[in-house]
Amino acid sequence: MSKTRKILYPLSVLYGEITKIRNKMYDKGVLKSTQFNIPVIVVGNLSVGGTGKTPQIEYLIRLLKKDHKIAVLSRGYKRKSKGFLIADASSDAKKIGDEPFQYYQKFEDIIVAVDSDRVNGINLLQELENPPEIILLDDAFQHRKVDAGFNILLTPYNDLYVDDSMLPTGNLRERIEGAERAQIIIVTKCPSEFSEEKQFEIASKLKPTLYQTVFFSKIEYSSVIKNNKEEISLNDLKEYQVLLITGIANPTPLVNHLKSENINFEQLEYPDHHDFSEKEISKIKSVFNKISSDKKMILTTEKDFVRLENKLNAKYLEIKTKFINHKKDFDKKIINYVEQSSRNS
């Protein structure tokens, strides 16, 4: 353990005990959790950032929106507004947050709302003239005020929560036993070639309870680069000199993918959910203008694009989550929960 980690370790122990006591108070009913007569699905994690919640929420939207009215409720991290808001034509990433705005732009037939108080948000969604039939809670695994009917816990392949430690020495928001609240655990961002033996090894390491199922997913990158006006194939991007702008928790998978596709690029990296200042935009433009190639492009992630589209002439590479195997089993578990919950409401 490094010297810094040794210094901070007592704070991690204290933080772990505080979250443990808090969870026990919810478990015993000392602190109130609210149940709802509508299917509520939480997608979250034990650690901070970078687990793949956004593409997993989008997967659930695609799975369910054909047969159900869907609402996605998020706190709207780093938004410049307060209280409960429903995304509309006046919304942007600053008003509702980058991830909710991405959902709003991408899916026409769903409701996207933000509220740091998820109980209040769910209540207000149910009071709408055309209320949702299912509510997806983005990044709400620690929001114990809501007693969700179904919890999906994400953990990245190269940073499993069982190998992590509590903040501030590690990245865990709560102790690893908190994982027991999930019905499903998904190991995300797995390698493309991933044997069943390796899956069994990791599943055993996670030690799921008898009522939990472990699934494995990977990132599937689009074959095109696009913005709101045009698109080109990823293969054609090899002819360009690319300036890659990233403001996400873990850009490594994207960087590795571009390298594997033999894309020529240089990267400017910023913190997750970064709010780009005018000075930073000027710097990006300056770096881009210094690229001597006649064929050059600014490339960013989809989440960054919703914050940059009005500031830079950029394109983005879309991603989806793809189950390595047992996709039908995952879909069935979600659909069965929704149908059973809907019948009981």
Rounded CA-CA distance 247/13 in Å is 30
For 341: left if phi > 0, alpha if psi spans -120 to 50, otherwise beta; the answer is alpha
> What are the pLDDT tens digits along the chain (345 aa)?
566 666 778 899 999 999 999 999 999 999 999 999 999 999 999 998 789 999 999 999 999 999 999 999 999 999 999 999 999 999 999 999 999 999 999 999 999 999 999 999 999 999 999 999 999 999 999 999 999 999 999 999 999 999 999 999 999 999 999 999 999 999 999 998 899 999 999 999 999 999 999 999 999 999 999 998 999 999 999 999 999 999 999 999 999 999 999 999 999 999 999 999 999 999 999 999 999 999 999 999 999 999 999 999 999 999 999 999 999 999 999 999 999 988 776
8 Å CB contact between 74 and 43: no
Query: The tokens of 102 are what?
Result: 């991405």
What are residue 45's DSSP bridge partners? 154
| Contacts of residue 26, Cβ cutoff 8 Å, sequence gap at least 6 | 33, 144
8 Å CB contact between 246 and 98: no
**Cα–Cα distance list, 26 to 46, 56, 93, 121, 138 (Å):** 17, 27, 33, 20, 20
- Round the CA-based radius of gyration of the chain to a whole number and report it: 21
Task: Walk me through the domains of the chain, giving residue ranges and CATH numbers.
Answer: 3-68+133-220+322-344 (3.40.50), 228-312 (3.40.50)
Rounded CA-CA distance 164/92 in Å is 35
Q: What is the pTM of this model?
A: 0.94
Query: The tokens of 40 are what?
Result: 């509520």
